[in-house]
């Protein structure tokens, strides 16, 4: 009987597709991820289902779009009753583990900055509340010394080492471990969290923070060590496994520890697409430019904003340091996989949950204005059946990950999955998509949108069409002739036929965004 493959799935947080050595980045060093690509297939046109953490992570697990799976914007919860591909793997005999960031439930207990105002009344939502416990990632659960329990079935995962939030003060099991282990440095853990103890630096970037936390106590190192421990525990076992290793970096704040802080210098980085490159800057970009000209910062510190060229270069340098630290950790984990004896039967995958403007049009972080910088993410698949080097520009989406893994495992997906298996692309270079949908549902007004933005994009090999709800403008870009997407053809009379055709295709996708599950099981 043929042995089922193992899966080691790496994912980073907020990493652009082009910020890897194997993707052609001229500065950032990622030799270990590049090595995975050298023995695998890299998809250069891989796009998220939605460029926001929580909804896209739920799309990864379900193979379904946010409008269907229920986690439609940050700050909500992924329903515990939803099946995931990890549930299918587990039912098929796999050992399953999640190590690092999950973010399927809110990991703060804070209310939204601008909560919706409801009319007085007893019933405020369209859905009755369910009885599940949705506070499993919130900070109060990790306030004690004893490791917080997740049971043996967290969205299909039997083993969970949780890291919540971002930066050097991440929470979850990491925070419990940090409080216990910081004492070996001769300082109490709280000393490291006091902003007055930030190490000196001369960076002006809004999110730059030079952490005093040493490298071996930083979240990336915790995730590396827990992943290596878990893989070591699989040595000698014939049970196949799926191990999800999720790094909170290079998401802001930009705070790489130790040697990674000044591993790169700001003057090594160039800004490719500037605000002034846009022939007609769209309203969201113009809004951010006007804010910047007035010297205003967003109400929420972590929100998208425009910054000076120097601050953007600093953010790039620090992001590169965070990426290289993750790359070093991945190298150690892959070596641990080899030592466990399972490398020759393990599919290794690398991905990210969304990108970052990171200088695109002079912006930092992410927002509802659609760009490749936040929608395109890395995807690398290294299969032990071949370990062949290849690259494809075939269209692919986060919703395709679940059916691809299940197909490779030889397991049937559940009814209602929307993605498509990418094995024809990965094995034979045969495209499985002519176009794909990208959703965006913002959780609060930003970038000048009032009310909150609702956005839908249709991507083809040569075109991007984006529609913004209730706006009298949209975007149409000829990707082949305008790869930087600075010439909006939405109002071009000579492109009306193209626009109409793409609108019809977008409507077809929107019609498909109905939950097919459950399947009818009797005549009406």
**pLDDT in the model for residue 422:** 98
Strands (E), 165-282: 171-172, 241-246
45 token code pair: 């046109």
Question: What's 122's DSSP letter?
Answer: S
CATH 3.40.720.10 fits 6-109+133-425, yes or no: yes
**pLDDT in the model for residue 115:** 55
Q: Which residue has the tokens 């520009």?
A: 393
pLDDT tens digits in sequence order for the chain, 524 residues long = 468 999 999 999 999 999 999 999 999 999 999 999 999 999 999 999 999 999 999 999 999 999 999 898 888 888 889 999 999 999 999 999 999 999 888 887 776 655 554 555 778 788 887 878 788 889 899 999 899 999 999 999 999 999 999 999 999 999 999 999 999 999 999 999 999 999 999 999 989 999 999 999 999 999 999 999 999 999 999 999 999 999 999 999 999 999 999 999 999 999 999 999 999 999 999 999 999 999 998 877 788 999 999 999 999 999 999 999 999 999 999 999 999 999 999 999 999 999 999 999 999 999 999 999 999 999 999 999 999 899 999 999 999 999 999 999 999 999 999 999 999 999 999 999 999 999 999 988 889 998 899 999 999 999 999 999 999 999 999 999 999 999 999 999 999 999 999 999 999 999 999 999 998 888 87
237 token code pair: 């076992």
| Domain spans of the chain, in order of start | 6-109+133-425
Between CA 71 and CA 80, with CA 75 as vertex, the angle to 5 degrees is: 45
pTM confidence score: 0.96
Residue/partner pairs of 77-81 with CB below 8 Å, 24 or more apart: 77/104, 77/105, 77/106, 77/134, 78/54, 78/104, 78/105, 78/155, 79/130, 79/132, 80/130, 80/132, 80/134, 80/155, 81/130, 81/132
Name the packing angle between helices 53-62 and 401-409 (round to 10°): 30
**pLDDT in the model for residue 517:** 92
Residues across the chain: 524
**pLDDT in the model for residue 1:** 46
């Amino acid at each position: 009987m043929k042995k089922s493959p193992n899966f080691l799935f790496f994912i980073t947080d907020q990493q652009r597709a082009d910020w890897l050595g194997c993707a052609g980045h001229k500065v950032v060093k990622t030799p270990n991820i590049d090595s995975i690509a050298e023995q695998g297939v890299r998809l250069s046109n891989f796009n998220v289902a939605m460029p926001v953490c929580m909804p896209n992570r739920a799309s990864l697990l379900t193979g379904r779009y946010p409008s269907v799976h229920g986690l439609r914007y940050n700050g909500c919860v992924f329903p515990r009753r939803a099946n995931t591909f990890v549930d299918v793997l587990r039912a098929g005999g796999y050992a399953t583990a999640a190590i690092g960031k999950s973010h399927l439930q809110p990991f703060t207990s804070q209310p939204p900055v601008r909560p919706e105002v409801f009319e007085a009344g007893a019933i405020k939502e369209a859905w009755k509340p369910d009885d599940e416990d949705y506070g499993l990632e919130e900070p109060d659960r990790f306030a004690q010394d004893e490791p917080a329990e997740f049971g043996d079935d967290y969205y299909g995962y039997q083993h969970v080492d949780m890291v919540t939030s971002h930066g050097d003060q991440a929470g979850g099991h990491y925070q419990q471990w940090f409080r216990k282990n910081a004492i070996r440095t001769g300082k109490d853990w709280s000393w490291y969290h006091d902003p007055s103890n930030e190490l000196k630096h001369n960076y002006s970037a809004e999110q730059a923070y030079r952490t005093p936390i040493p490298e071996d106590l930083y979240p990336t190192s915790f995730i590396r060590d827990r992943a290596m421990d878990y893989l070591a525990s699989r040595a000698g076992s014939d049970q196949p496994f799926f191990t999800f290793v999720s790094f909170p970096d290079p998401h802001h704040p930009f705070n790489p520890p130790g040697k990674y802080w000044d591993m790169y210098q700001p003057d090594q980085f160039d800004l490719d697409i500037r605000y002034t490159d846009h022939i007609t800057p769209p309203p969201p970009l113009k809004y951010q430019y006007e804010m910047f000209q007035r010297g205003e910062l967003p109400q929420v510190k972590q929100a998208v904003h425009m910054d000076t060229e120097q601050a953007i270069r600093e953010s790039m340098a620090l992001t590169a340091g965070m990426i290289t630290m993750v790359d070093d950790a991945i190298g150690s984990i892959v070596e641990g996989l080899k030592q466990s004896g399972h490398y020759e039967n393990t599919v290794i995958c690398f991905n990210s949950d969304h990108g970052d403007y990171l200088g695109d049009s002079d912006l930092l972080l992410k927002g509802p204005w659609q760009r490749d910088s936040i929608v395109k993410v890395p995807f690398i698949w290294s299969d032990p059946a071949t370990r062949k080097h290849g690259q494809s520009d075939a269209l692919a989406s986060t919703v395709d990950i679940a059916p691809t893994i299940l197909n490779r495992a030889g397991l049937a997906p559940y009814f209602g999955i929307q993605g498509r298996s990418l094995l024809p692309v990965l094995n034979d270079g045969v495209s499985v998509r002519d176009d794909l949908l990208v959703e965006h549902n913002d959780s609060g007004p930003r970038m000048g949108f009032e009310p909150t933005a609702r956005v839908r994009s249709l991507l083809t090999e040569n075109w991007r069409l984006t529609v913004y709800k209730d706006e009298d403008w949209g975007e149409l870009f000829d990707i082949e002739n305008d790869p930087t997407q600075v010439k909006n053809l939405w109002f071009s009379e000579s492109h009306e036929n193209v626009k109409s055709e793409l609108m019809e295709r977008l409507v077809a996708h929107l019609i498909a965004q109905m939950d097919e599950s459950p399947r009818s099981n009797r005549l009406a």
